[in-house]
Amino acid sequence: MTFEAWNRLSTNEFRPMENKAVQGQYPPGSTYKIVTAIAGLEEGVINENTAYYCPGHYRYGNRTYRCWKRPGHGAVKIIDALAQSCDVFFFRVGEELGVDRLARYAEGCGLGVTTGIKLDNEAAGLVPNSVWKLKRKGAPWQGGETLSVAIGQGFNLVTPLQMACLVGAVANEGTRYKPLVVQRIEAPDGSVIKIGEPEVLGRLPASKKTLQILKRGMINAVN
């Protein structure tokens, strides 16, 4: 490869040399509402029948936090809040929980740590909490920052693989698996030499009832 060709690749703003599935770190956006929902349900902040009214915005302190749907969603419960991705609902849940409880559940869901997949330079992402901000930024945590974290914005960082593993764990009743690169190795005649054995990393911090609520909301979201 010529120096010019290498330079074009290494300085390209889209970073083509980076394996973005395991090295790219991004704000998870509304996919993080899975974590907020688990934390809210497990901590008893909300239940299946808790309803919050969304007028399209939420006033916190001297700032107005907007829902993506400007006219608002009206009164919504958790399943509809997941299906419609209502920001105001999760602002309210996040406010009740606080950032440190949210962080504890995020870590329990496998965020903030590498998955252990056998690929080079896997990134861990970032699960922010009040202690992290004080150490990193030299400033105390602000309540409004929790609202941003609760909908996957703010200081949150995840890899695409971390979120794929989280969604997979919701789908399979809560078991967190270490992702595999090799499913199986076959001989030229088609016989199987070795099968990749899945390694259990742990379980989501969610009850069976919570997982059923999540799945109903997520199924409604894609339909």
Name the residues annotated as catalytic.
30
Pairing of strands 57-60, 192-195: unpaired
Strands 175-178 and 199-203: antiparallel
Q: Distance between CA 12 and CA 4 in Å, rounded?
A: 12
Q: Which residues pair with 52 in a beta bridge?
A: 76
Structure tokens at 201: 């990393």
Q: How many CB atoms lie within 10 A of CB 120?
A: 8
In contact, 112 and 126? CB cutoff 8 Å: yes
The Cα angle at residue 104 between residues 51 and 167, in degrees rounded to 5? 70
Strands (E), 55-165: 57-60, 63-66, 74-76
Question: Do 88 and 108 touch, CB atoms closer than 8 A?
Answer: no
